[in-house]
């Protein structure tokens, strides 16, 4: 019994040492390769990026709700605060966004026999200028366009807020992907 007890104690000691060594090695490996912060969103955020700034989008579209620029600007802010865990600053952020709503169009889509159209499409385009102040090569200007369809028998004003929200979320995903995921 005594020999068995000694072997079990020795096995436990060796096992604890192996686990300790494995944890130390894991910590060292992770520490050495942690030049960037990764998130579940796929964002690849350099360690020197801590904040971002967003200028109020200009509304260059000829129509659309009066609040459209503020709504979409707020969506950009929320996306980068929640999914990139970056702090928003008023000006001169490490990441900087500015731009304009360049299009807000309503068109007929999907013709139906005996009717002019079965669906109506709302399309929104944003032109975004992005600058990473920590990396001179990481800047771009791009137009993002998304749309959503609704029944032509539905009055736009009854679904407009939901459509703008849905399209805005899609546009924010595109902007986030371009700025931080870079796939």
What is the share, in percent, of the chain residues with pLDDT greater than 70? 72
pLDDT at 43: 76
pLDDT at 32: 43
pLDDT at 36: 42
The pLDDT of 61-88, averaged and rounded, is 94
Question: 5: burial class by Cβ within 10 Å (0-12, 13-18, 19+)?
Answer: exposed
Closest CA to 72 of 139, 154, 163, 158: 163
pLDDT at 126: 98
pLDDT at 77: 97
The rounded mean pLDDT for the chain is 84
Task: Please state the φ and ψ torsions of residue 26, each to the nearest 5 degrees.
Answer: -60, -45
- DSSP H or E run through 122: strand 119-132
The pLDDT of 157-164, averaged and rounded, is 95
pLDDT at 108: 87
Global pTM value: 0.75
User: pLDDT tens-digit profile of 76-125?
Assistant: 999 999 999 899 999 999 999 999 999 999 998 866 666 666 899 999 99
Q: What does CATH list as the number for 49-181?
A: 3.30.160.150
Domain locations along the chain = 1-34, 49-181
């Amino acid at each position: 019994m005594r020999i068995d007890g000694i072997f079990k104690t020795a096995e436990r000691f060796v096992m604890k040492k192996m686990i300790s060594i494995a944890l130390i090695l894991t910590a060292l490996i992770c520490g050495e390769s942690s030049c960037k912060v990764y998130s579940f969103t796929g964002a690849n955020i350099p360690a020197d990026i801590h904040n971002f700034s967003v200028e109020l989008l200009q509304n260059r579209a000829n129509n659309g709700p009066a609040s459209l620029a503020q709504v979409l600007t707020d969506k950009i802010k929320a996306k980068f605060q929640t999914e990139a865990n970056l702090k928003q600053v008023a000006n001169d952020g490490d990441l900087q966004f500015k731009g304009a709503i360049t299009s807000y169009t309503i068109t007929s889509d999907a013709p139906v026999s005996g009717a002019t159209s079965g669906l109506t499409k709302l399309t929104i385009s944003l032109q975004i200028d992005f600058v990473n102040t920590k990396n001179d090569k990481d800047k771009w200007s791009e137009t993002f366009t998304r749309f959503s369809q609704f029944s032509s028998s539905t009055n736009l004003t009854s679904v407009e807020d939901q459509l703008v929200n849905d399209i805005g979320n899609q546009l924010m995903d595109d902007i986030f992907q371009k700025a931080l995921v870079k796939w």
